[in-house]
């Protein structure tokens, strides 16, 4: 492949076939193109650090095949009511002291009722007052709810597409793909930044991975933050025992996300604990420039802050301030 082909002009719309062609590039060519794209838009040695706190755990009515918080699965996750404001503030303060610049709060709801939203609004205000970026993931939003969160000072709303439209029904039956797109539209219309990505290793094909990336890249505009999750298998969920995704294929997914969404933060999210330092380093080289930082992601493990800092030090990288 010649230099001209590697330096293709950025494009604003991607077909699934074009994304599949990126996946199929020789690994060195793919990494070079991803790294070049990354350097054109970001400091290549800066990583945005986010911390995620589960503010309401378990008891969700959805049937997402990967999720240990679904009420219908027996996974050992204990239901937990909404945390008090004081505990959320304390967790945010600790995250900030450890170097995180964004604090994300997740609640296991199909979608919040208005009475659920009021205490979350107070949490957003309190975390914002600490000088941190704020993010919540609460499920599907109804009309008017995104505006309330915006008024509270919310910076990002997370609502993942999870996978490609054609594979979606294999993973979830309790909501439609369009439901997710509708929530993203409400978030965008309210003026809140969109955090939207997906999960790989669900048993999907490479074509479905390409379909997910194409869906994300073709959102108008693309999400400001794109979390790419490796499935963390939890006993009791339908996807427990699924064939694990090859780690190099995961790195390819990060690289393709970077190329197709050059101005987005691409977050290396769930599954880092199982990856080891070498694969994480390749993901950062491929253009990931955000990580979830701390002890756990909602209900599954995550490398401890000290290990994360040690890895960044080895790589000569630093937190984005």
Residues with catalytic function: 60, 64, 67, 104, 135, 195, 267
Find tokens 């969920």 and name the residue: 237
Length, in residues, of the chain: 321
**How far is the C-alpha of 71 from the C-alpha of 93, rounded, in Å?**
31
What is the CA 308 to chain-centroid distance, rounded? 18
**How far is the C-alpha of 38 from the C-alpha of 269, rounded, in Å?**
18
Find tokens 């650090």 and name the residue: 49
DSSP annotation of 275:
H
User: DSSP readout, 22-61?
Assistant: HHTS-HHHHHHHHHHHHHHHS-TTEEEEEEEEEEEBS-B-
**How far is the C-alpha of 268 from the C-alpha of 260, rounded, in Å?**
16
DSSP annotation of 162:
B
Q: Which two tokens stand for residue 80?
A: 């937990």
**How far is the C-alpha of 176 from the C-alpha of 17, rounded, in Å?**
24
């Amino acid at each position: 492949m010649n230099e001209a082909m590697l330096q293709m002009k950025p494009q604003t719309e991607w077909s699934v076939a074009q994304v599949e062609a990126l996946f199929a590039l020789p690994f060195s060519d793919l990494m070079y193109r991803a790294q070049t794209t990354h350097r054109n838009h970001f400091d290549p040695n800066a990583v945005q650090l986010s911390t995620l706190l589960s503010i309401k755990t378990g008891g969700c009515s959805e049937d997402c095949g990967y999720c240990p918080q679904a009420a219908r699965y027996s996974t050992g996750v204990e239901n937990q009511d909404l945390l008090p404001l004081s505990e959320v503030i304390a967790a945010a303060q600790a995250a900030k002291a450890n170097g995180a610049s964004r604090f994300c709060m997740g609640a296991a709801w199909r979608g919040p009722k208005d009475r659920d939203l009021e205490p979350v609004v107070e949490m957003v205000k309190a975390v914002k007052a600490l000088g941190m970026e704020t993010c919540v993931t609460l499920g599907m939003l109804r009309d008017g709810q995104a505006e309330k969160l915006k008024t509270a000072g919310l910076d990002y709303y997370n609502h993942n597409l999870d996978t490609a439209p054609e594979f979606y029904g294999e993973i979830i039956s309790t909501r439609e793909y369009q439901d997710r797109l509708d929530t993203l539209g409400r978030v965008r219309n309210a003026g809140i930044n969109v955090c939207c990505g997906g999960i790989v290793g669900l048993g999907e094909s490479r074509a479905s991975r390409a379909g997910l990336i194409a869906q994300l890249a073709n959102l108008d505009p693309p999400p400001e933050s794109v979390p790419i999750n490796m499935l963390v298998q939890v006993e009791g969920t339908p996807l427990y025992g699924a064939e694990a995704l090859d780690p190099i294929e995961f790195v390819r997914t990060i690289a393709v996300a970077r190329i197709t969404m050059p101005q987005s933060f691409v977050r290396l999210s769930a599954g880092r604990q199982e990856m080891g330092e070498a694969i994480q380093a390749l993901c950062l080289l491929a253009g990931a420039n955000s990580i979830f930082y701390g002890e756990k992601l909602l209900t599954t493990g995550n490398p401890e802050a000290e290990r994360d800092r040690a890895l960044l030090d080895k790589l000569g990288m630093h937190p984005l301030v």
